[in-house]
Structure 1
C-alpha cells in the first residue's frame, strides 16, 4: 500500500501475535505493506501461525521470533535478532498480555507480579530495546495496546487494571524521553472485543446484555475495528500524534 497510510518496506513486530488480537493486528500491518515479525511464547504455535499467514503474502514478508518478553536479556536478543535477520525494526506493537481473575483479598503476590511483568514491564523492556535503534535512525513507531481498564475498573482483575493504567503512563513517559528523537509512541485502548478468548463472555446472557447496554454502539467490538487505528498510528499519517491513548470502545468510556 502506498500513500500516507502505506507501510511498504517497513519492518514491524507485534508481541503476542500467534493468535487473537495480536495476530489480526499483524495481518493488518502486513496488508498495509509492512514486513511483519510475529512473536509468541509458544514456539510450535508461533511457527504454525507464521506459516499460515505467510501463505497469504509474498515470500519474505512474514517472519517469527519466540522469546520471553518479561526477561531483559531475552528482549534485547529478540529485538537484535529482528535487526540482523529481517531488517531494522521501525514499528513495534506491544500487544502481549494475560489476565488473572481473583478478588484482591485472595490474590497471591506471585500472580500480581506475573500479570504486571507480562502486561506492563514487558512493554518497557521490548520498547526500550526497539527505541535504541529507532533513536539512532531518527524515526520509529511504538504502539502500546492498553484497554478500557486503562480508565475503568471492575472487581477481581486488579493486576490487569493496574498494569493497563500504568501502560498509558508508560506511553507518556516514552513520549517525554523519545519524541525529540523522531519517535511517536501512542496507545490503543480496546473496549470489549469479541474473540475466541472472550466467547464465553459473549455466551453469558447476563454479561452480554450488560455489555450491549453499557456500550453506546450497542455491540461488541471486533478485531477488525482495531486494525485501522493501529495502521494509522504506524503510518506517516500520525507523525504529530504522540503520547496519546486512543479508546476504541464504541463509546463505553464516555457515558455513565
Structure 2
C-alpha cells in the first residue's frame, strides 16, 4: 500500500511510477530480514542455516532483487520523492509545492505510520531485552554458553558477540570460510546444550509480564490506535486500490 501511495503522489507531479515490483520486493525483503532477525534474539538458533551461511543471513531472507534506490532516479524526481524536512522553506516542482518529506513522507502519513504513535509495546520489548541480559538467571545461562564455546575453541562473552572477526558477522560480502561455519554451528549447538533460548525467554517473559501490568492502560490505548490504523488502511485500499 505504501508504494502504491508513493506512485499516486508521483503521478500528481507528472513523474512515471517507480517499479512496483521492485518496491514491493524491497518491502518484502525488509519484512523477511526483520522476521529472521527475531530468530536470533538470543543468538543463532538455526543450525541448517549456520552450516551454509555461518553468521550471515540466508539467501531467502536477503531476497533476490536489489532494493530500488532513490539515487537511481533523476535528481528532480528524487527531490519529489524525498522532499525536505518539516519546517523547511517551501520547495516546488513545476509550481507545485512538494509535501514535507516528499512523496515518501506523504505516503507514510497517508497510511498512518507518521501519526505520532509512541509504539510503547516495541519500546517495552527493547527495555526488557536489555534488562534480561543483566538479570542473574540470564547471566548464569550466558556464562554456561560461553564456557561451552570456550571448550570448543571459541572465546565469546555472549551469543550476541559470537562471530566477531568473521566476514559475515562483520557485514563483509563473500561466502563464509570453514572456520566461520564451524564457529556458527558450535554457537547453535552450545545454545541448545545449555537451553539458552529457553532460559532467556523465560527471564524476558517474566520481565515483560511486569511491564504489561505496569502499563496496562497505555497498552490498551495503543491497541486501539493500531486497530484504527488497520481500518484506515482498509479504507485506503478500497479507495485507491493497491
Taking structure 1 as the reference length, the TM-score comes to 0.23
Larger RCO (CA within 8 A; separation ≥ 6): 2
* Structure number with higher strand proportion: 1
Taking structure 2 as the reference length, the TM-score comes to 0.24
* Structure number with higher helix proportion: 2
Tell which structure's C-alpha radius of gyration is larger.
Answer: 2
